[in-house]
Structure 1
Amino acid sequence: MAETVRLTTAQALVRFLAAQYSERDGSQQRLIPGMWGIFGHGNVAGLGQALLQAAETGEADLPYYLARNEQAMVHASTAYAKMRDRLATFACTASTGPGSTNMVTGAALATTNRLPVLLLPSDMFATRSPDPVLQQLEDTRGGDVTVNDAFRPVSKYFDRVTRPEQLIPAALAAMRVLTDPAETGAVTLCLPQDVQAEAYDWPVAFFRRRVWHVARPVPEAPAIARAAKALRGASQPLIVAGGGVVYSGAEAQLRELAEATGVPVADTHAGKGAIPADHPCSVGGIGSTGSAAANALAAEADVVLGVGTRYSDFTTASHTVFGNPDVAFVNINVARLDAVKHSAVVVQADARHGLQALLAELGDWQVDGSYRERVARLAAKWQRATEECFRRDHQPLPAQTEVLGALHDTLGATDVVINAAGSMPGDLQMLWRASEPKAYNVEYAYSCMGYEVAAGLGTKMAAPDREVVVLVGDGSYLMLSSELVTMISEGIKVIVVLVQNHGFGSIGSLSEELGSQRFGTQYRYRSATSGLLDGAVLPVDLAANAASLGAEVIRASDIDEFRSAIAQAKSNTTTTVVHIETDLFGPAPPGSGWWDVPVSEVSALDSTRKAYDTYSAHKQQQRHYL
């Protein structure tokens, strides 16, 4: 008979997770190095007790970290996974009810970004003995429905463990999905609170050290031949480098292909830095918030080689940026969902292997010298435009681009910049010159306000030797800044650049462009005259708020003071918030792409009618790539 050990379900799960490892290219690491949590009545006697027991007895090495917000713990875990190339992530536990549903936004972000995270929300009693229990949803359609069913559409794997022995197949399935480069995302195992505390005789083999080998799928030879044929027939090809290049560790192979062939490389947010910004083949970001150089080349490209990109509408400028009527696509992607997009020649493979095989098949093929010269001219022109944005002397308040310029000058090549929402992602996509991909973390798949501070925490935990700088606007800061407290309690140093403009800069600008006159996008008192939120500026002091949470705070009133503040923050040993105010109304960098945001087809407002005419003109250029 197999050897067994009697443990609760929660104790068994903790012991199991501590024994899981990932491996790629011969390098192993802990798959789940720790667990974030906030305890309530649903998990305090289950996972809470199990983590305490593991720490005191040494039976399992699974450190516990206390977050201040359940959504934030998922963001921190996702940022950690991104920094570790999806080879490691954290588990996150929350109590029944609102604690668990707070994690749903984080789950959506992880799955949208194809990043692994393990979620362990507590659930209602499996026995239904106390029914309805506190925080239980009573659904008239079925007795087995709980609020945790909200995780189903935003998880790559979902299971509810209603008996202890169900944990064995559920936990193994969870690890399978977490380590699948094509299918990874949020994995949710719902744990009813009574089942967490229930004992079972577990087979000892369940707790053995397991190594999950992360595959590098190789391309099929016929697929590579088709891809090479398409490229050899191109006169104005363009590479779009996405996050798959980074997660595969294929940066060297991308550079080698670009250098050998002369094909220019544009990048997405997730792929920025895959080729250094100062590389002769680098033309910057592409799409709605891309560089003028990349978008000009995209407009003429006859063949586009997409490597590890999912072609979001920002990357494709809502299906308008690739303007050549005969444009064709070749996609190298580990996920077939992305590889087949835009009717492409499909190379379903790991990016590193795909690029290596494609270069070998191309032989000595290169683009024409005149095309190389055009690429160089466009890149140089955009570099001059970038410098102009960085060096504006805008008065009385600096433009946001000046803050980015000063930060760009001050940070080192390996310092990490983090952002997610508002106008800053667009400015960063256009202007930031990354020398390597780990120095740039802009979450723009879900573009989740509140991601930044929590992501800074997770990133620093994944890369403690790097300087981590969080760029956050006042809107995002107000939504989720609680993990400043966690940074302080854990002794983790992060620099937070808090840019306050008293409103929503990105949506305000978009609102104005679409004829909605920045309605509801400024932080103002309600006016007694108009009845709208267009009164005086609110007396909100976010720097004082950050100080109250325990961070050291430096206030900068202009760009010179900001430069000095960043230098001081880098020399500090504790979390430091650098606060600066900027002009809500810009100026912004010069745009060259279009984003499809519908405008009211009929309106009593002249501004909206004019915006609709412009929108209709852009819509005529929109198409599917067939």
Structure 2
Amino acid sequence: MNTIRLTTAQALIKFLNSQYIKFDGKESKFVEGIFTIFGHGNVVGLGQALQQDSGQLKVLQGKNEQGMAQAAVAFAKQNNRKKIYACTSSIGPGAANMITAAGTATANNIPVLLLPGDTFATRQPDPVLQQVEHMNSAAITTNDAYKAVCKYWDRVTRPEQLMSAMINAMRVLTSLDDTGAVCIALPQDVQGEAYDFPEYFFKKRVHVIGRRKATDEEIEDAAKLISSKKKPLIICGGGVRYSEAGEELKKFAEEFNIPVSETQAGKSSIESDFSLNLGGVGVTGNLAANIIAENSDLVIGVGTRFTDFTSGSKELFRNKDVDFVTINTSIFHAGKMDGTKVVGDAKASLEQLQEALEKLAYKSSYKDEIVEAKVKWENEVKRLYSIKYPESNFKPEIEGQNEKFLEEFYKMYRSALPQTTVIGEINKFVEEELDGNYVVVGAAGSLPGDLQRLWKSSKKYSYHMEYGYSCMGYEIAGALGAKLAKPDKEVYAMVGDGSYLMLHSELVTSIQERKKINVLLFDNCGFGCINNLQMSNGMDSFGTEFRFRNEDGSRLNADYVPIDFAKCAEGYGVKTYKVKTIDELKNALKDAKNQSISTLIDIKVLPKTMTNGYKSWWHVGVAEVSDKKSIQEAYSQKQGFLENARKY
């Protein structure tokens, strides 16, 4: 047996260079590169290996471990899980920082390879700098915390263990039904230890991502159930996107006259103007989709996990005779909602199911309901896009809110921009001026709800929303990852001031790497989405706005804290703009398009001007006992919704 003597780190880099995937007959490199932040736990191990011979791997320098790993997640998502970046950190806080991104990847079923440094396998220098010690076990390190948020975890304590660890890692990273974050913890001494690795470990490996077909029995059962129903509804989930099954879904819907609704992950798998596309469904869904959903007697979930936002905490589907068909590569997710399972690839399964239903000559019983629902929603969109403050047609979209929020904000910034109006202008600009050749990225706050409801995409995969984890701080890092995946497209990060303050470090990386992104920063002086949530459940505003503390030291409810985000970003070398009017927004968008460096548009938007409701409910924990009448009423209302929610 021929061998090559390499360090563990050198062998790892050589192995990563030899990994390929094949999808629909097309072969491509799987590992694009590696994000690095070097510290004492990896700089002379993996760092040395990358400096000596990185092969074809692109080596990028991150600025925050979570940020670079979130960028890697976004890169894989924008590539429909067909390419990945690896990420390496030092031990201790560097490793811990990536745990949040691991959760993002696993919650969304997105592959990412994380390579944190670890303490010494020999334990001789223990405790080393940044080591967390446990009296009950010397084997526990920071990296054990990854186990809760990874699909595969291993620690390589001897060089020869690298082989089985990486074979298993690739199994999960290229999995159809069980992919997510993979953590391979690398003790810093082992990274530099040498071993005679067999040459076959470094051979070219092609991981075939096949199209798993459902069984005949599954197709027969699903077709039988569908043919017995009159008003089905399709929910297009992220599995449609990753299967690249948009065209098959449209054919299926047209053939049987079945309307399609979208999850956050599924949105832009088919074009927004498709005649049967109702748009977003559920808690952040729109009026059209939710009207149809509440009356449907069958829900066909294609590649969706049926999260509480999609199902309206299982209260959205109100027809007493409603049943579910679930198409998913994962038998776990296919079992959601006690549905009739079709375990298989979205594209292949839709083709199988269409053939079976054609033999049964099936058609839904919809007449004018789909068109009528869409017209109602289009009229509402026009209203939302044309709101003006403080004119007579204005009202905060969040019912029952005190207008003092708006008055104070307007007094401070002299900005009267409603959030929905701003989104309408941005959407119009990127569709008309860029001909849909863009990617819009978001993750948390009120923007995902407004975008799922209002945003219209003319091109596939132009909408990139991380909502499985809804991770604040993903937006700018995610925009960088999307730009790395699609360098020919304009990429826009839609981010609130709260998320921006949490994590925007990879904005600097975008400048360094000459990968232009556009940050559209919606400043409403606080965690506006959560402020709405607490107040709509009977609470007063508490701890969710960015306000000065009262002079008596009691609470944070004095004046708003003004922040000049444009001035801050200008210091990084970003081209910045300050926006308080629609004309200023239009001019900024136009000028930003012509820039070659990253841009930031600081948009002052009125609080309480996001969308809300539309026949949906979200189950949150409300205090059962309170001395406040409004909270008592909120609890009573919650109990009413729970009585109608399905119990699975």
* TM-score, structure 2 as length reference: 0.94
Query: Corresponding residue for 1:460?
Result: 483
Q: Render the CA deviation track for 1:13-42: whole Å, top value 9, x for unaligned.
A: 011101111111111121111000100000
Which residue does 1:21 correspond to in 2? 20
Paired AA for residue 120 in structure 1? L
Structure 2 residue 345 is the aligned partner of structure 1 residue 350: yes
- Aligned residues of 1:524 and 1:536 also touching (Cα < 8 A): yes
Q: Secondary structure at the match of 1:315?
A: helix
Alpha-carbon contact 2:283-2:309 (below 8 Å) kept: yes
The alpha-carbon distance between structure 1 residues 593 and 530, as it changes in their structure 2 partners (threshold 3 A), is farther
Q: Is 1:265–1:275's contact at 8 Å kept on the other side of the alignment?
A: no
Q: 2:313 aligns with which of 312, 315, 318?
A: 318
What is the one-letter code of the residue matched to 1:408? N
- Match for 1:411: what amino acid? V
**Kept after mapping to 2: 8 A contact 1:389/1:589:** no
Q: Does 1:113 align with 2:82?
A: no
In the alignment, structure 1 residue 557 sits paired with structure 2 residue 580: yes
Render the CA deviation track for 1:370-409: whole Å, top value 9, x for unaligned: x141111101210111121112123452111111100110
State the shift of 1:416 in Å: 0.9
**Partner residue of 2:120?**
125
Instruction: Give deviations 1:326-356, integer Å, cap 9, x for gaps.
Output: 1111111000111111111111000000000
Greater displacement, 409-418 / 233-242: 409-418
SS at structure 2 position matched to 1:33: strand
**Contact 2:226 2:232 (8 Å CA) reproduced:** yes
SS in 2 for 1:260: helix
In the alignment, which residue of structure 1 is the partner of 2:627? 604
User: Aligned equivalents of 1:530 and 1:493: distance in 2?
Assistant: 43
**C-alpha separation in 2, matches of 1:280 and 1:70:** 43
Residues in 2 aligned to 1:610 and 1:3: alpha-carbon distance in whole angstroms: 75
Q: 1:71 to 1:587 in 2, by over 3 A?
A: closer
Aligned match of 2:636 = 613
Give the Cα separation in 2 of the matches to 1:311 and 1:587. 24
CA shift digits 1:178-203 (9 cap, x unpaired): 00010100001000000001111111
Query: Contact between 1:502 and 1:537, CA under 8 Å: does it hold in 2?
Result: yes
Matched, 1:402 2:421: yes
Q: CA deviation at 1:118?
A: 0.2
Query: Which of 554, 558, 561 in structure 2 is aligned with 1:531?
Result: 554
2:132 corresponds to which residue?
137
Q: Which moved more, 1:386-395 or 1:186-195?
A: 386-395
Residue-by-residue CA offset, 1:296-325 (whole Å, 9 max, x unaligned): 111111111110000000000001000011
Alignment correspondent of 1:248: 243
Please report how far the alpha carbon of residue 366 of structure 1 lies from its aligned counterpart in structure 2 after TM superposition: 4.5
Shift of 1:256: 0.2
Contact 1:430/1:589 (<8 A) preserved: no
Deviations 1:505-544 (A, max 9, x none): 1101111101121211110100125711011111322111
- Secondary structure, in 3 states, of the residue corresponding to 1:132? coil
Shift of 1:606: 2.4
C-alpha separation in 2, matches of 1:381 and 1:560: 29
User: Is the CA contact (8 Å cut-off) linking 1:414 and 1:439 kept in structure 2?
Assistant: yes
2:160 is paired with a residue of what secondary structure?
Answer: helix
Q: Tell me the distance in 1 between the aligned counterparts of 2:384 and 2:583.
A: 16
Match of 2:616 in 1: 593
Contact 1:507/1:518, CA 8 A, preserved across alignment: no
CA shift, 1:587, in A, is 5.0
- 2:210 partner SS: coil
Is the contact between residue 516 and residue 598 of structure 2 (CA under 8 Å) also seen in structure 1?
Answer: yes
Following superposition, the deviation at residue 589 of structure 1 comes to 4.6
Are the equivalent residues in 1 in contact too, given 2:155–2:184 (CA < 8 A)? Answer: yes
Where 1:15 maps in the other structure, the secondary structure is helix
Which of the residues 327, 330, 333 maps onto 1:332? 327
Superposed counterparts of 1:172-191, under 5 Å: 172-191=167-186
Q: 1:590 Cα shift?
A: 5.0
Secondary structure of the residue aligned to 2:494 is strand
The equivalent residue for 1:10 is 9
Q: Is the 8 A contact 1:473 1:498 kept in 2?
A: yes
CA separation in 1, counterparts of 2:177 and 2:613? 36
SS at match of 1:182: coil
Matching residue of 2:29: 30
Q: Distance in 2 between matches of 1:526 and 1:223?
A: 61
The aligned residue for residue 387 of structure 1 is 382
Distance 1:467 1:246 in 2: 20
1:435 Cα offset (Å)? 2.6
Query: Does residue 233 of the first structure (1) align with residue 252 of the second (2)?
Result: no
C-alpha distance in 2, partners of 1:335/1:375?
31
Distance 1:410 1:589, change over 3 A: farther
State the partner residue of 2:524. 501
Distance 1:27 1:567 in 2: 38
| Distance (whole Å) between structure 2 residues aligned to residue 566 and residue 314 of structure 1 | 32
SS in 2 for 1:599: coil
The structural deviation recorded for 1:279 is 1.3
- Structure 1 residue 614: Cα displacement: 2.0
AA aligned opposite 2:422:
V
Within the candidate set 144, 152, 163, 1:168 is matched to 163
Q: Give matches, 1:194-593, under 5 Å.
A: 194-363=189-358, 365-368=361-364, 371-395=366-390, 397-412=416-431, 413-529=436-552, 531-586=554-609, 588-593=611-616
Shift in Å at residue 63 of structure 1? Answer: 1.9
Q: Distance in 1 between matches of 2:221 and 2:519?
A: 48
> Aligned match of 1:101 in 96, 100, 105?
96
User: Over residues 557-576 of structure 1, what are the superposed CA-to-partner deviations in whole Å (9 max), with x where a residue is unaligned?
Assistant: 11121122111111111101
SS at match of 1:159: strand
Secondary structure, counterpart of 2:578 in structure 1: strand
The one-letter amino acid paired with 1:52 is: Q
Corresponding residue number in structure 2 for 1:53: 52
* 8 A contact 2:229–2:364 mirrored in 1: no
CA distance, structure 1, for counterparts of residue 150 and residue 257 of structure 2: 40
From the superposition, tell whether residues 423 and 526 of structure 1 become closer, same or farther in structure 2 (CA, over 3 Å).
Answer: same
Question: How much has 1:584 moved relative to structure 2?
Answer: 1.2
Please give the secondary structure, in 2, of the residue aligned with 1:76.
helix
Moved more, 513-522 or 524-533: 524-533
Pairing 1:75-90 to 2, within 5 Å after superposition: 75-90=70-85
Structure 2: give runs of 5+ residues left out of the alignment: 391-414
Residue in structure 1 matched with residue 406 of structure 2 by the alignment? none
Distance 2:573 2:21 in 1: 36
Give the total of aligned pairs.
Answer: 619
Distance 2:292 2:20 in 1: 43
Q: Distance in 2 between matches of 1:607 and 1:18?
A: 60
- The whole-number CA distance in structure 2 between the counterparts of 1:588 and 1:149 is 41
List runs of 5+ in structure 1 lacking aligned partners.
none
Deviates more, 1:357-366 or 1:467-476: 357-366
Of residues 300-309 and 203-212 in structure 1, the stretch that sits farther from structure 2 once superposed is 203-212
Q: Distance in 2 between matches of 1:367 and 1:564?
A: 49
Q: Deviations over 1:571-621 (max 9, x none)?
A: 111101111100112253553200001211111122222222222222222
CA distance, structure 1, for counterparts of residue 363 and residue 276 of structure 2: 12
Deviation at 1:437, TM superposition (A): 3.9
1:275 shift after superposition: 2.5
- Residue 243 of structure 1: CA displacement? 0.3
Q: Give the whole-Å Cα distance in 1 for the aligned partners of 2:108 and 2:75.
A: 13
CA distance in structure 2 between the partners assigned to 1:261 and 1:224 by the alignment: 16
Separation in 1, partners of 2:529, 2:253: 34
Q: Answer yes or no: is the 8 Å Cα contact 1:37–1:64 preserved in 2.
A: yes
